[in-house]
Structures are given as structure tokens and as C-alpha cells.
Amino acid sequence: MAVRRNGLGKGIDSLIPPAPKKKTDIEKTENKVVNKESAADINKEKIVNGEQKVKITMVEPNREQPRKDFDEDSLLELADSIKQYGILQPLLVTKKDDYYEIIAGERRWRAAKLAGIKEIPVIIKEYTSQEIVEISLIENIQRENLNPIEEAMAYKRLLQEFSLKQDEVAERVSKSRTAVTNSMRLLKLGDKIQQMIVDDMISTGHARALLAIDDDEQRFILANKIFDEKLSVRETEKLIKSLKNPKKEKAKPKQQTDQFVYDNLIEKMKGAIGTKVNIAQKAEGKGKIEIEYYSQKELERIFELIMSTQQS
């Protein structure tokens, strides 16, 4: 575990020792290989500056490595570069029964196969399963090779399979605890939304905003709305807030009597007073009565009519 304590979280370069300069060091490396492999295999390998060149057919990727997605165009570009200049950085591998398993450098391995390379440079190291996961994760994070879901899955594996705490995971990959926590929260989303993140249809900012919605189907509907309408993260947060806390519409004043009743009253008052009458409605059953007159004489008549009803 001394290797992990000194190297992990400090960069992938610190995990690979410098090439031995003295001849005696190279001889020791050769002797160590001889003890582990058959003479037939040794004849297939070459020692170059502390690196071993092995047949590419003897190297296989780690099935448990965090990265699953490789951009085809990027691999073709790297393959063209390898054809011209070779593999500039050796792959880090560990020895299995009859092959070498890649710890770091699967992208270079894939590109080398596309380029038709027969032998590749490797550095052979022995690590525990946990250290292999950590090193693969560190290298991919440093190179920004992982998509957000791959990164979150790698953190989850370190937590569950190796019983690490989030603080320990954060320390090993040189990330803040908050960054690790936010990354793993993405795994609470459904598979369809996770694939949208992988496909760059929505950002991690959009995805974290969607976590405020409990129903996964509603999340997916909103995720498609975000993509279709090209909503920003802020617009998404505002939309989700409005969905979770809808504004209550102000209750309209309840009318005490419908318009038919008012019209009936108006007609009766017109018949009793003998002139045009209007009722203006207000809220809460309030209002006012308007009586029109067209001369001073008519006003006196209306006045006398009203006073007579009061005296009776």
C-alpha cells in the first residue's frame, strides 16, 4: 500500500518510477521477468530504457476500468500520430496468467491496433485491485477522458467495493468531497437521462437541477424539453421551481346575484320610477343605483315619489 499512499492523488506520473540508468538495474529487471515467464515469452520481448516491448496481442484492456466510451475520430487521429512517431508514452500494465492487463493507456492500445502496430512499450507493475481502479480513475480524470456518468460510477465502485469513505475517495483523486458527492448524485437519475448526459444532450448542471423532481418520468419529459428548447441551467431551475411551487390564482369575487336577477330589478325600478335606471355592481355584493332625469321638473317628480314611499 506504500505505492498508493505516495502516488495516488498526486498524478499518474508519480506512480511510474523513472527508467533505470545503470546497466545493473536493467539486468535486475530482466532477471525478474525471467522468473515469471517462460523462455519462449522472453524471446518475444525487448528491454528498452527500462521499458518492455511486448506483442500487442499479449495485452488486453481491463474490463473493470472506468472508461467505456472512446471517440472513434479521436482514436483515428491518434492512430495516424502513432504511425508517424510511435507510442511516445508506455502503457502501464500488470501481469496476469498469460497476458498483460492494461492499468493506464487503453486509448493508446486501441489506437495502436488501428495503426497496425505489432509491438507496444509497457511498464509492468504489480497492484491490488483497489489500486488498479484508483490509478485508472486518476489517469482518466487528469486527461478529462471520462464522461460524467463513467466518473460517477468509478467513485461508486471505490465506495462500495472497497468500502472507502467519500473523504478518502476525494483525497485519492485530488477532488473536493463536494465534487465527488455531486458527481455521484447523477446516478440517482434514470438510465434514459444518464444517456442524455453521456450524449451531451444536457449538461451536469441541468441534470442536478432535475434531481429536485421526484418522479423519474417527469424528469425525462423535462430533460427533453431542456434539449428541445435549449434551456439554460438558470431557466431550467426557474421552470422546476414554478412546477414545484405553482402560484395560487386569486379567487374571483363571488357574485351574490347573477346578471338576470339584476336585469329584472332594473326593469321593475324603471316601471316604478318612470325613467331610466341602472345598477352598477361592485365586489362583495356592493354597488350603486343610478337614476337618470332630463329636467328640473322630472327631478322634483322623482324626489316626491321617493318621499311618498317613505311616508307610507
Considering the candidates 51, 106, 139, 151, report the single residue annotated as catalytic.
106
Residues with Cβ within 8 Å of 232's Cβ and at least 6 positions away in sequence, in order, are: none
46 CA to centre of own chain: 45
Specify whether 106 is catalytic: yes
CA 112 – CA 80 distance, rounded (Å): 9
CB 56 within 8 A of CB 125: no
Residues with catalytic function: 106
